[in-house]
Amino acid sequence: MRAAAEMGARARDLGIRKLVTQVERTEREMGQAVTPPAIRALAAAVIANPFAGRFEPDLTPLIDTGAALGEVLARAALDALGCAPEAVQGYGKSAMVGEDGEWEHAAALLHPSMGAPLRAVIGGGRALIPSTKRMGGPGQVLDLPLGHKDAAYVRSHFDGMEVRMSDAPRAGEILVAVGLALTGRPLARVGGLRHDEITGEDGLR
């Protein structure tokens, strides 16, 4: 209860209009048991775009918001998974800007400062965090790419999720999402480096 209250307070401080979590657990695929089950989760937030409808050369406020959202969304996704931070194997992030914004607004949220607080929540991560951004409106799909958190060459963890909200993002809003994965894809079998073979030193292998 205390954690939920703290999460709610942080969400209000950030002006989050809506916060959604989603968990996917795949037990069977093509008639085959998936062992262990493929489990992944996302947390997505809808925020007002402070620069909607105008050009602003200094995007520092969005960069700062990105850092705060990195922590809030990672914690929400981790809570949805109900696991210890060290169980997380993969991650990703994405953002969709409403029509009165610009692509760079999504970049400001995702790239300069979101990664460090996200990694802090799950106890680290050496690989670059896969990301994508787009412009769109209510009901449109936002792809959320996923990759291994310590070794980008682990092919089994090249994955993704989809985010869709019927009422977001509105023209002056931004939809931001963070994804966490406990496994790779269901029945992954395209070869390459495996999770149990990584050294986790350079973010690649």
At 8 the pLDDT is 66
pLDDT digits (tens, 9 = 90+) for 27-41: 999 999 999 999 999
Q: What is the mean pLDDT of residues 162-189?
A: 98
Question: Is residue 44 within 8 Å of residue 165, measured between CB atoms?
Answer: yes
Q: How many CB atoms lie within 10 A of CB 40?
A: 29
Q: What is the mean pLDDT of residues 156-166?
A: 98
Domains identified in the chain, total number: 1
Residue 21 maps to a domain: yes
Tokens of 38: 């493929």
* pLDDT surpasses 50 at 59: yes
Residue 170 maps to a domain: yes
Three-class SS state of 12: helix
The pTM of this model reads: 0.94
Residue 86 maps to a domain: yes
Distance CA 177, CA 199 (A): 28
Residue 203 maps to a domain: no
At 14 the pLDDT is 86
Distance CA 174, CA 109 (A): 10
Distance CA 37, CA 105 (A): 36
Residue 205 maps to a domain: no
- CATH code for the domain in which residue 79 is found: 3.30.1330.110
Distance CA 147, CA 192 (A): 14
Domain of 50? 2-197
Rounded to 5 degrees, what are φ and ψ at 137?
A: -140, -175
